[in-house]
Structure 1
Amino acid sequence: MAGLNSVLLDPAIGVGANLAAWTSAGGGEGLARALDRPQDIIPTLRAADLRGMGGAGFPTWRKWTAAAEMADGEKYVVCNGNEDEPGTFKDRYLLRRTPHQVIEGALIAAVAIRAGTVIFYINPRQAESIEAMRHAVAEWTDSGLLTEVERVVGRNVRLSVAPSSGRYIGGEESAVVRWLNGSFPFPRRKPPFPFEKGVNDRPTLINNTETLANVPHILKNGADWYRNLGIGGASGTKLFSLSGDVLEPGLYELPMGTGLQELIFTHGGGMLGGRAFKAVFTGGPSNTLLTARDLDVPLDFDSVRSRQSRLGTGAMIVISEGTSIVRKVAEYVEFFANGSCGQCPPCKCGTFQMARLLDRIATGRGTEADRRALGHLCLILPGSGRCALIDGAVTVVQSSLQTFPEEYATPGV
């Protein structure tokens, strides 16, 4: 499944939960450099242009700087492995197959912000990932490798694995904090941000699994090395979860900036059954649809944004001609409706109503009034929730209405 310039999926580091094999393959060198010059960690990530791989693409160094600048005392690092959105399956692979690079990245984060507790927050449905991480954490704890980390951090360092709530909204960072504090994972409005008031009301740095997995390699090989892995103005590599109507679905690590057409037709083997390409849900089913006119787009955060969509998690759900866009959107909006936590009535009721209308249209029972009602909901619902769930649901509905209006005018196609 590894592609060109593979780093995270390099077969040489795919050593499961064996710490000795990880270190013999060069693991630990990034942490050693971080311990030698902790003041260089954040500047190196800034020079590398590492961004958050959980969806937002926010510069990693900014998050780390904010947490590092908080007053000394107990701080937390949380690896967010909740991964629950349809079409996304990269983090579970990293946690299950290469847990030590994730742990090393999290420990480098702990050194950078002087945190004493590192928590690996993992979806409970990913039982193999939880088992692998618990075994790997035990190896690190028993190895004595944490002693030098503790010396630099200035406090005891504890690693733990915490199953998440398993809910889709449980991956939103304020919901992560509330769950780890023993409450229901209701997202809340910010500020305060987790770096200000997180787990146990202490400064907390939350990063996606893939983001942390990149960190050891950047510290080991340098910022220039990482930047040069990308294409054009993009930096590093990206894990793409490719699924849908392609001949060879799977997880591909490719240079950031690889073209959409190359991902689908070269690495993915082209369209299933020889059908024509119709559209792709980018970054999971909560973004604007890309169509055949976008096949030339480089897959990096800025280029995809220039097409009014988002790279998101790197999930690419490919749809062929002959597949109903309305039916697919109906499935995804039902997922969002089921995932709503219910604390924001416009979100809970709005996603339910959109799912109901989409189901009517997709099954040939819709009317022009249903289509108009759907369009009206897309106008009044954005921004009405405490997290991005309702906005994501609206985005994909509105995009499908604008891009494939004929499917709504002729329901059931």
Structure 2
Amino acid sequence: MDPTLNQVLMKPEARVGADLAAWLALGGGEGLANAARDPRAIVPLIADADLRGMGGAGFPTHRKWAPVAAGPAGDKYVICNGNEDEPGTFKDRFLLEHTPHAVIEGALIAAVATGANHVVLYVNPHEKQAIAAVGEAVRQWRDLGHLAPVEAAIGGSLSLELVPSSGLYIGGEETAVISTVEGGFPFPRRKPPYPAQSGVHGKPTLVNNTETFAHVPGILRHGAAWYRNLGLGDASGTKLYSLSGDVLRPGLYELPMGTRLDALVFDHGGGLLMGRAFKAVFTGGPSNTLLTKNHLDVALDFESVRARGSRLGTGAMIVVSEGTSIVRKVAEYVDFFSHGSCGQCPPCKGGTYQLTRLLNRIDTGRGVRADLAALENLCGLLPGSGRCGLVDGAVTVVASSLQQFRGEYEALLIG
């Protein structure tokens, strides 16, 4: 998929791969140098820029950084979460392959801001090119002496390392990330305590998404107002939108945060295959509420999408055209969640399995009205029954599809 690039994160000249010298020649490192001069100004600057977490929740970044920065001196961890394994999401792998130094510099700035002495790049091992690029980039930062400004700012030595994730979907949940970095199985943990209080080996830990860190060097280099003005309306910055499904030009698009859904699908994505009509879109990956043709005017930022009853999530947009079965798509995605459950919480493992079984029965023309009733019953029983949000995501997409496209389900029933 050929991405359409603008002039912020993924400008062509900045796609230098693991070549640190080329990154520095383009102005890389300036944000880190500015950060090292005044570490206490970093968190307020990130707050003023209104940088959000780009891994799904859109949580204000400074609110994650501040408690780690305020924590007691000693071992602290910054983890870049590059596990990215949800269907329809492919932004982080591009950043890690083509501009890993932007990501690393952002994580190092976070270390300066929080006083962390451990920085971990946590990358999905299935992404071989990303692993290779990050591994070489990490080696250059360590071996060529470019960690000195960070170590001077934090008053001690800094460890920078690449840690392959488990490669499992559940391994991207932040407490599962911590478990993996500790050397264990990626079992999510109950919160509280939150990672900022007790993370890796019980130490204060900051976990942010790859794309979040990639925005940080630009903010430290150009300022908060520059970043805010990149967005549309009340939104700030740019966003990487992973566009896939029934569109003519699927790909990765970096656009102003707040770009309208119809502009993404029709202006950038070229419209739908075979001239079909737009039917729906799975927003932020397949774990959120479906948006329909009635929502094509929505601005793709966290608040605007939430106001329409869905979530922007990772920025993945999986487009469905008229003629494509919603029931089949939902069955496929819930099957993914079922296989991705770690099994730690029986309601999640058993519940997602039962959802998959019922959906497959209906999709293949073997379902009866009692199966539809059982689906609805599970959607009422399962939310909140797991330690993480996996089962909630599976329920959300089923419940949304039942609300928006119930007629498709009923048309497939045999009794």
For 2:6 and 2:245, how far apart are their aligned partners in 1? 25
Matching residue of 1:219: 220
**SS of residue matched to 1:87:** coil
Matching residue of 1:332: 333
Deviations 1:213-263 (A, max 9, x none): 000000000000000000000000000000000000000000000000000
Q: Answer yes or no: is the 8 Å Cα contact 1:287–1:309 preserved in 2.
A: yes
Q: Please state if 1:70 is matched with 2:104.
A: no
For 1:26 and 1:60, how far apart are their aligned partners in 2? 24
For 2:127 and 2:407, how far apart are their aligned partners in 1? 40
* 1:60 positional shift: 0.2
Q: Answer yes or no: is the 8 Å Cα contact 1:363–1:412 preserved in 2.
A: no
- Which structure 2 residue ranges, 5 or more long, are not aligned? none
* 1:308 positional shift: 0.4
Matching residue of 2:43: 42
* Alignment TM-score, normalising by the size of structure 1: 0.99
Matching residue of 2:137: 136
**SS of residue matched to 1:410:** helix
Matching residue of 2:200: 199
Alignment of 1:1-400 (within 5 A): 3=4, 5-400=6-401
For 1:74 and 1:257, how far apart are their aligned partners in 2? 38
Count of residues in correspondence between the two structures: 413
Q: Answer yes or no: is the 8 Å Cα contact 1:6–1:237 preserved in 2.
A: no
* 1:177 positional shift: 0.8
For 2:187 and 2:136, how far apart are their aligned partners in 1? 30
Letter in 1 for 2:346: P
For 2:403 and 2:172, how far apart are their aligned partners in 1? 29
* 1:39 positional shift: 1.3
For 1:251 and 1:336, how far apart are their aligned partners in 2? 24
For 2:219 and 2:13, how far apart are their aligned partners in 1? 17
Q: Answer yes or no: is the 8 Å Cα contact 1:281–1:288 preserved in 2.
A: yes
* 1:6 positional shift: 3.3
Q: Answer yes or no: is the 8 Å Cα contact 1:2–1:10 preserved in 2.
A: no
Q: Answer yes or no: is the 8 Å Cα contact 2:285–2:315 preserved in 1.
A: yes
Letter in 2 for 1:317: I
Letter in 2 for 1:103: I
Deviations 1:143-198 (A, max 9, x none): 21111210111110111000001111111111111111121111111011111111
**SS of residue matched to 1:404:** helix
For 1:6 and 1:353, how far apart are their aligned partners in 2? 47
Deviations 1:250-290 (A, max 9, x none): 00000000000000000001001111000000000000000
Q: Answer yes or no: is the 8 Å Cα contact 2:77–2:203 preserved in 1.
A: yes
**SS of residue matched to 2:194:** coil
Alpha carbons of structure 1 residues 332 and 357: separation in structure 2 relative to 1, 3 Å: same
For 2:126 and 2:356, how far apart are their aligned partners in 1? 25
Alpha carbons of structure 1 residues 412 and 268: separation in structure 2 relative to 1, 3 Å: farther
For 1:218 and 1:113, how far apart are their aligned partners in 2? 17
Deviations 1:290-328 (A, max 9, x none): 000000000000000000000000000000000000000
Q: Answer yes or no: is the 8 Å Cα contact 1:116–1:153 preserved in 2.
A: yes
Letter in 1 for 2:165: S
Letter in 2 for 1:121: Y
* 1:37 positional shift: 1.3
- Which structure 1 residue ranges, 5 or more long, are not aligned? none
**SS of residue matched to 2:344:** coil
Letter in 1 for 2:347: P
**SS of residue matched to 1:212:** helix
Q: Answer yes or no: is the 8 Å Cα contact 1:13–1:98 preserved in 2.
A: yes
Q: Answer yes or no: is the 8 Å Cα contact 1:164–1:170 preserved in 2.
A: yes
Which stretch shifts more, 102-111 or 31-40?
A: 31-40
**SS of residue matched to 1:119:** strand
For 1:349 and 1:376, how far apart are their aligned partners in 2? 14
Q: Answer yes or no: is the 8 Å Cα contact 2:368–2:413 preserved in 1.
A: no
Letter in 1 for 2:355: M
Identity over the aligned pairs, expressed in percent? Answer: 66
For 1:42 and 1:2, how far apart are their aligned partners in 2? 32
For 2:379 and 2:24, how far apart are their aligned partners in 1? 51
Alpha carbons of structure 1 residues 3 and 237: separation in structure 2 relative to 1, 3 Å: farther
**SS of residue matched to 1:310:** coil
Deviations 1:78-117 (A, max 9, x none): 0000000000000000001100000100000000011111
For 2:388 and 2:32, how far apart are their aligned partners in 1? 34
For 2:35 and 2:379, how far apart are their aligned partners in 1? 47
Q: Answer yes or no: is the 8 Å Cα contact 1:5–1:237 preserved in 2.
A: no
For 1:149 and 1:53, how far apart are their aligned partners in 2? 24
Q: Answer yes or no: is the 8 Å Cα contact 2:3–2:251 preserved in 1.
A: no
Letter in 2 for 1:239: L
**SS of residue matched to 2:370:** helix
For 1:200 and 1:143, how far apart are their aligned partners in 2? 29
* 1:412 positional shift: 8.0
